[in-house]
Amino acid sequence: MTLWTLLYPLKGKVTVMLIKDRKKTPAIVGELTLRSTNAGPRPLRFLVSKDKKQDYRSPEEFIELLRRSERILITRQGDAKNHKKIIEMLGGFHLTGEMVDVCRFCLLNKEFNFVNKKSISHQGERICETCAQEELKRALRNSQCHYSDEAIQRIFDVLNKTKDLDRTIGMLNPEEIDSEVTRYDTIASKEDQNPYPISKLPISGQFKKSLLKKSKNLLPVQSIAVRKGLLKGNDLLVTSATATGKTLIGEMAGIENILKKKGKMLYLVPLVALANQKYSQFNGKYKDFGLQTSIRIGSSRIKTRKTENMSRSLDTDIIVGTYEGVDHIMRSSKADMLGRIGTVVIDEVHMLEDEERGHRLDGVIGRLKYASPGAQFIYLSATVGSPHALAKHLDAELVEYEHRPVPIERHLIFCPQQSKLRIMTRLIREEYNQVSSKGHKGQTIVFTNSRRNCHRLANALPITASAYHAGLANPERKKVEERFASGKLPVVVTTAALAAGVDFPASQVIFESLAMGIDWINLQEFLQMLGRAGRPDYHDRGVVVLLASPDKTYGGGQAMTEDEMAVKLLKGQMEEMNLKYGQEEQEEEVLASVAVTNSKADLNYICTKMVEDIDLNSIVNKLKKYRFLTQKGDGIKLTRMGSIAARHFLSASRAFLIRDAVLAGQDPIEIAANLEFFDAVYFKFAPQISAALNVNMPSRVFQGAALDIVFEGDNLSQLEEKIRDQLFEFATDFLTCGCKESPYCGCAEKNFSEMIIRMRASGRDPEKIAARLNEKYGISAYVGDLYGYLDGVIRNLDAIEMMASAHSKTDIAKQAKDLKKSVEAGR
């Protein structure tokens, strides 16, 4: 048994602890009082506490205790005068003590623990880990927030990492941002050890000269792609972080194949905004090569002065399109109009996992492989959960590069919702004041969960900021892109929906929210978004900041809070890709594929080229029962009903809905409005209405509670005259049906949608429609949403026209055709 005696000098007394076997809890705790004698300081009284009892021991017993101890320890902490007396007393008994550093907090709790340079720092001293943890728990209890278990664990991890209790507790005060404490980790960059010289590329002189203007060598992932047969026609799946140069891999294959007369390039993307951006880039970049670029997005039939300059011809060298834009051509049995295709680039191929659109991307890949069997396919993505498995499904060589071109710091800041704006302002300003070694100022992308929040935050930030989302018209989005690219715009506030691919050269990404709408973003979306931070041509590093509010949720059914979600995303590992389509999705893809072949064998070939397994025989039998297909031996073809469904992306149920409406003699505008409501509209003055009526007025116009307030109208007299008049106008125009379920019968949405269609048909551009809604009803609508809706209306009117013709409803067919032309042209 080891025996130590610890002496802790205080003013007027000395705390004595008997330590057995180095245990933290002393066997005995006593209090020693000294007296002055001619021989020096000597023990006067020795009061011992043990088992909650106190008794006085003789001074001689204390001296005996010291003599039996292997070590006599004297704390550096304590009263200086008593320090000297203890040392002098020990000398009088021919004993020596050693000065030691112990935890003062332990001493206060009658316990013992050594501290050293590796112990926790707190208010100018060192304390043991246990006491530091207890102090941190106390600070958490006293805070105004209820932290999740994951957040608390993160905070304790910071304590263990920094060994600084004061800085760790500072995490609970978001106004005091300590970047060393908030940093979750740093994703390191890696220098390419084996770059491929551009001068040695087996490509045309003009293309090589163009590439050499920017660099002598290819970037790492580009070098790997070339070595894996990019320029030999091999199909490749390229998975690499954002800003590593994936796009140029697709361009190298595509442009070289064009120049070698192997066929044109199709460059397919998931978003209209991204298609517009790529169209502008390729148009400017390859015009000097004598190459022409066009764009295909959706049915692309809304004509305005601002869109007429964009080429939509299929007779061009490069066709940039959305997945649906190119698929629409093939579904319309016009695949041969695409001409000879040498290269197909599928950007953001991880969209195969998207619940709503994944099956369509899968189908368009299969159909393109059938229609252009000699084409080279290049698939690009920053985030694929199981790249080897996907490469195998796609019959492609895997090009995988896991390193970023610049390091990226990831930070996590816990803060209440009301503090986020102040924190963002500080972070944005600090970043914009930074200038990289490449001479570029630091710019920021802020991700939030809704379009309205984009505008709210952009307007609230006390620094120049712009909202950017799919609801904006293309010219407006392009203006924001150009200002950001020029470095004149410090910050863009955007939605998670635009995380994929849109190119903003930002050095910093801030997550104001971790949700998309009312649903948490998933890991793949998160990685796409944080990948926007840091560009090798612009920045020395990227910064990602998550602002997470304890107790914050976005939907009633969510089990996790925002702070819990933040930690989960930062720790996350990509899950394997798991595609599973329902029967309606399988039916749609089989129908769409029959539009490009009349052979059951070829149809089977298309299905085998898709990633997901299609139960072809079962689906064909279903479609024959619907009378969408006919089959004779190996021959298979669409009926008129099937053709209408295929080319208009209709499920069987929607096709039957149109047929029944046509047979019932409904007006085409009524059918079109019923097929798809335009409900992406908001009451501009919802906050003022809420305050005046003391109710929670939703901003969405067709959200139940909002319609209730307007429909009842009892309290509207309390509102400002302008707002009251606008709401009365809305109620008069759209809430006067006689339905028993009004205002939840759908009539308001249908009537509103019909009005939008009529306004367009009468000659108004979407910009003017939005202005009219604002002026007359106090309702705001995004121009981009109006374009998208009207484009869908055209497609639906086309389906109505064809369905009416198929059933000899010539009057309805003519009405649908005339209305379609008016909506297309706006007159």
Cβ atoms 691, 786 nearer than 8 A = no
In this prediction, residue 272 has a pLDDT band, given cuts at 50, 70 and 90, of: confident
Please state, rounded to an integer, the average pLDDT across all residues of the chain.
Answer: 90
Helix (H) or strand (E) holding 480, with range, is helix 474-485
Residues 361-386: pLDDT tens digits? Answer: 999 999 999 999 999 999 999 888 78
Cβ(105)–Cβ(19) below 8 Å: no
- Using a pLDDT cut of 90, give the percent of the chain over it: 69
Are the beta carbons of 655 and 641 closer than 8 angstroms? yes
Please tell me the predicted confidence (pLDDT) of residue 563.
Answer: 94
Model confidence over 727-762: pLDDT tens digits?
Answer: 889 988 998 888 888 888 889 999 999 999 999 999
Q: What percent of the chain has pLDDT over 70?
A: 96
Helix axes 704-712, 721-734, angle to 10 degrees: 100
pLDDT reading at 143 higher than 90: no
- pLDDT computed for residue 303 by the predictor: 62
Q: What is the pLDDT of residue 180?
A: 87
Question: What pLDDT is attached to residue 386?
Answer: 86
Q: How confident is the model at residue 304 (pLDDT cuts 50, 70, 90)?
A: low
Asked if the model's pLDDT at residue 193 lies above 80, the reply is no
Q: Nearest CA to 777 among 757, 814, 748, 805?
A: 748
pLDDT for res 32: 94
Q: For tokens 């924190």, what's the residue?
A: 423
The answer, yes or no, to whether residue 359 has pLDDT greater than 80, is: yes
Per-residue model confidence (pLDDT) at position 166: 94
Question: Bridge-partner residues for 781, per DSSP?
Answer: 681
Give the H or E element holding residue 398.
Answer: strand 397-401
Asked whether 731 and 710 are in contact (CB, 8 A), the reply is yes
pLDDT tens by residue, 611-642: 999 999 999 999 999 999 999 999 999 999 99
Neighbouring residues of 192: CB distance < 8 A, sequence distance ≥ 6: 217, 219, 220, 223
* Cα atoms found within 13 Å of the Cα of residue 16, Cβ hemisphere only: 26
∠ CA 51-55-58, rounded to 5°? 130
Lowest-confidence pick of 23-37, 301-315, 641-655: 301-315
For residue 465, pLDDT over 80 is answered with yes
Close Cβ partners of 729 (under 8 Å, ≥ 6 residues apart): 776, 777
- Are 274 and 284 a contacting pair, CB within 8 Å? no
Asked if residue 409 has pLDDT above 60, the reply is yes
Q: Is the pLDDT of residue 553 over 90?
A: no
What are the pLDDT digits (tens) for 667-691? 999 999 999 999 999 998 888 888 8
Q: Residue 42's pLDDT is what?
A: 94
pLDDT band at 273; cut points 50, 70, 90: confident
CA 489 to CA 498: how far, in whole Å?
18
For the structural domain made of 408-571, what CATH number should be given? 3.40.50.300
Q: Which of 209-223, 560-574, 674-688, 696-710 has the lowest mean pLDDT?
A: 696-710
Average pLDDT over residues 480-502: 84
Residues pairing with 114 in the sheet: 102
713 vs 69, higher pLDDT: 69
Residue 821 has pLDDT above 80, yes or no: yes
Q: What is the pLDDT of residue 498?
A: 64
- For the domain with range 3-108, which CATH number is right: 1.10.287, 3.30.1560, 1.20.140, 3.30.420? 3.30.420
- The 8 Å CB, 24+ separation contacts for 62-70 are 62/16, 62/30, 62/32, 63/93, 65/5, 65/18, 66/5, 66/90, 66/93, 66/95, 67/93, 67/95, 68/3, 69/3, 69/4, 69/5, 70/2, 70/3, 70/4
Give the pLDDT confidence score for residue 720 in this predicted structure. 87
pLDDT of 299 over the 60 cut: no
Containing H/E element for 788?
A: helix 783-806
Per-residue pLDDT, 557:
61
For domain 198-401, the CATH class is alpha beta
pLDDT of residue 176: 75
Q: What is the pLDDT of residue 545?
A: 97
In sequence order, which ranges of 200-264 are alpha helices (DSSP H)?
205-212, 220-227, 246-259
- Could you report the per-residue pLDDT of 512-525, keeping only the tens digit for each? 999 988 889 888 88
